[in-house]
Structure 1
């Protein structure tokens, strides 16, 4: 699995590309750039130097495919594998994995934490367990 994708699942370019293709259907790289600029209200317009390598990586991984080429333009669409990757069910798995990794990091480095930080971690964990148990 594409590790970089998971770490930036909500704000990363790959996630945005997949989300755009999922909602809009087949598009060219230029169309995707314009749509991302529109979604971000003009705050971000990815460059061709960012979009096309990301599309190539997504294609290599089987998350998107080229559906047609016209006048030198490639039209991309999201695959079923790509749709699964951005599905809520998959995102839960990603969040759980990140929670596990973050907790392991804190435990491995607890000697470097201040007492205040240690207490904060304990409180977060305690509150999390209580809230999680309530939801059952």
Structure 2
């Protein structure tokens, strides 16, 4: 059996540690700036598509232009358990009295109501 023996002085030094970073600071800054530019471009495209109405074709609708939204005109607390709200919908105003204690809601139109438009929306 043959043994290989090396003299003590011939052993190699330990593995040197890396002194340079794996990724340079310049490449990190470049990649972060590219990500920020892409995000700004996407936000700009969404805003342009929203302004031109292209999002409506995709089914992403907000309030339609021809349709009047339900609008809260005023709200007043009557007691600890009840609140009165005045809502406007399609040119008509409604008084809604809400009671927490009895969980009841009363809706009544305000002003002169047309006989053709009786009832709540």
Query: TM range, normalised to the smaller chain?
Result: under 0.3
Higher share in helix: 1
Q: Normalising by the residue count of structure 2, what TM-score does the alignment of the two structures yield?
A: 0.23
Q: Normalising by the residue count of structure 1, what TM-score does the alignment of the two structures yield?
A: 0.21
Higher relative contact order (CA 8 A, sep 6+): 1
Higher share in strand: 2
